[in-house]
Homo-oligomer: A and B are copies of this chain.
Amino acid sequence: MEKLRSYLEANKQQHLDELLELLRIPSVSADAKFKADVLRTAEFVKDKLIAAGADKVVLEETKGYPVVYGEKIIDPKLPTVLVYGHYDVQPADPYELWHSPPFEPVIKDGNIYARGSADDKGQMYMHVKAFEAMMKNNALPCNVKFMIEGEEEIGSENLETYVKANTAKLKSDVVLISDTSIIANDIPSITTGLRGLAYLEVEVTGPNRDLHSGVYGGAVANPINALCDMISSLHDADRKINIPGFYDDVEVVSDAERAEMAKAPFSQEEYNKDLDMAEGLGEKGYSTPERVSIRPTLDVNGIWGGYIGQGAKTVLPSKAYAKISMRLVPNQSSEKITKLFEDHFVKIAPKYVKVKVTNLHGGEAAVTPTDTVAYRAASKAMETTFGKAPIPQRTGGSIPIVTMFERVLGTKTVLMGFGLDSDAIHSPNEHYGLFNYYKGIETIPYFFEYFAEMSR
C-alpha cells in the first residue's frame, strides 16, 4: 500500500489533467446536438481503461449510447467487483449563470468547476485511476469489471436490455458506484437509500392558435392559467401530494429509524442561509432531512408557454408546457405512480382545454443493505482514509439502476460516493473538490483490499 500511495502522489497532476480533458467534452445525452461529443467521450473512457491495464475493453452497442465495458480477471476463484459509472452529463443551461464556461474546466478555491465534474465524470474517473494505480503496482487483490454507461442522465433507457443480455459477463459479488455524496469532508458517509423517480411532460392546449389577448382575452381559456391551476392543485395545504393513491405504497419509516436519522448533524438555519431563503417548504410533520430522503415529492422542473422574449407581447397562447417529476420512496412503483399521475392530470383538466401527458422516464427507489461484506469493506476503507467511520445515510437523489442490478443480476450495490451536496450538480457552476477527487482515488484501493480480505 505504501508503494501505491507514492505512485498516486507522484501522478497527482497527471490524474487531474486527464480528468480536465474528459470534462472538456460536452457529453450531454439529453440533447441530440451533442451526439458526436457523447460518442467521443465513450472512446476516451475506453482508451483510458486500456491504458490502465484492463482487458477486453469494448464499446458495447445499445439502441442509444454505448456502454464502455472492460475487465481484469486475475483469478476466477477470487471475488469480483463490478464498477458502474456514467460518462454522460446533464445539460448545462442556463449557460448565462455559469461564472466560467461549463465545458472549460477551471480550478478555483480547491474545486474543479465544470459540468460533470462531480456527476459523474470526476467520480467515475477516480475508479479508472485507482485501478491503474493497483495495476501498475501489482496491488489488484481481486477481479474487477467496468460498466460505464452514457445514458444515466436520460434514465438509463437501454441499460436494462444490455444487462439482461449479459448476465454471465457481468456476474460479480458487488456493484460499486461512486455517484453520491458524503455529509462533509470531515464527516464521511455512505448512501444506503435512494429515491426513485417518475418524470413526465404535460402539454395543455387552449385555442387552436395563438390569439391577440385584447381581442379574445376574457372569453377564451388561457392554457398557461389553466396549467397553473392544475399544477397548483397538485399539493394540498400541508404540502402533501394531492393525487389519489399517491401515498398508498409509501414505506412507513419507524419512529426508531427516524430518531436515528435525527442524530445526523443538520442545521436548518445554515441550510436556509446557504440557499438564501427565509424558510424551507415541505410536507407537514417531517424535518428537512426526512423530506429529502424518506418522503416522496413533486416538483415542476420546467415550465414554458406564450411569449418569453424581451418586452411585452399581448398574446393569449395556444399551448403551455411543463416538465414535472416525482421522487419516490421504497415500495412505490414508478410505473404505477406514472399511471396515477397521467390519469389524475387528465381527469382534473377542465373541459375548456386539451391535455397531453408524456412519460419521459422513471426508476425505482432503493435501499442498500449495511450488513454485507462489501458495505463493511467500504466503511473500513473510508475510515482508513478519512480517519473516521462513515455514517450510513439515506438521501434524496435517484440511481434507478441500483434496483435493476439487484433484480436482473441478483447483486447488491455499495454507494461509496465522494461528492458534497453543495457541488451544484445539475446546476450552473457544478464543481468537485480536488480533496474529494484525490480522496476517492486513495480510498478505492483500500476497498478492494478489504473486500478481498473479508471475502476469504
- A interface, CB within 8 angstroms of B: 29-32, 90-91, 93-94, 97, 153-155, 181, 195, 197, 199, 206-222, 224-225, 227-229, 231-233, 235, 271, 275-283, 288, 291-292, 295-297, 299-317, 320-323, 325, 327, 350-353, 360-361, 395-398, 421, 424-429
Contacts and interface: CB of A to CB of B under 8 A. Distances in A.
Closest 7 CB pairs of A and B: A214-B397, A30-B311, A218-B297, A302-B306, A208-B276, A210-B427, A232-B232
A195 B212 contact: no
A301 B317 contact: yes
Nearest to A295: B218
Given A275-B208, A327-B214, A280 B219 contact: yes
A269 to B, nearest CB: 14
A31 to B, nearest CB: 5
A301 B307 contact: yes
A302 B277 contact: no
A313 B215 contact: no
A320 B217 CA distance: 23
A315 B303 CA distance: 12
Contacts of A218: 282-283, 291-292, 295-297, 299, 327, 396
A205 B280 CA distance: 13
Contacts of A308: 302-304, 321, 323
Nearest to A232: B232
Contact of A300 (B31, B222, B310): B222
Contacts of A425: 212, 215
Nearest to A224: B300
Contact of A219 (B221, B288, B321, B424): B288
Contacts of A32: 310
Contacts of A316: 299, 301
Contacts of A229: 228, 232
